[in-house]
Amino acid sequence: MDRFIIRPGRWYAWHMFPGSTDAPHITPIRVDGVAQVDRGRILRLKFWSFDDLNEARDLAIELRVHLCTATHLAAVPVGVMDRTVVVCDISFRWIEEFRLRLLAQNPRHSDENVQAYLQRISGAVLASGEA
């Protein structure tokens, strides 16, 4: 059976239920580091969260994996039992559904895939955040 694999340097869709409010926290993330702990039952992630095009947050989290299918991973942050995280591949369809403003403010190039698109539009924010 194929399993969803998170790779550094790639963009993913992040869904956390609930977020910091009662509403879900849904955002694109770019993973910079991933390590398996405890025989793969815990993932240590380092990533950039892009809630807004003008702001990125550099985050690190450990996730206890509860389900890993071919299309997504469902986990609970270690030490936080009242939240669930789902990570899945990101697509233009996902952006249209959850972050339509991104496309409105930053039209995609016709030959651009979603990974290249997100890297291009986040470039200035990442450059200032990594400095």
pLDDT digits (tens, 9 = 90+) for 51-77: 766 678 889 999 999 999 999 999 999
Q: Is 15 within a domain? A: yes
What does the DSSP 8-state code read for residue 21? Answer: S
Structural domains in the chain (count): 1
* Structural domain range at position 31: 11-91
Given a contact cutoff of 8 angstroms between Cβ atoms, the answer to whether 56 and 48 are in contact is yes
Q: Is 127 within a domain? A: no
Give the residues across from 55 on adjacent strands: 52
- Is pLDDT at 14 greater than 50 in this prediction? yes
- Is pLDDT at 129 greater than 80 in this prediction? no
Task: Look at residues 27, 19, 6 and name the one whose alpha carbon lies nearest to residue 94.
Answer: 27
Q: pLDDT tens digit string along 92-124? A: 999 999 887 888 888 999 999 999 999 998 886
Given a contact cutoff of 8 angstroms between Cβ atoms, the answer to whether 114 and 90 are in contact is yes
Task: Look at residues 108, 104, 98, 83 and name the one whose alpha carbon lies nearest to residue 50.
Answer: 98
Q: Is 73 within a domain? A: yes
Q: Is 108 within a domain? A: no
User: Can you give the CATH number for the domain in which 77 is found?
Assistant: 2.40.128
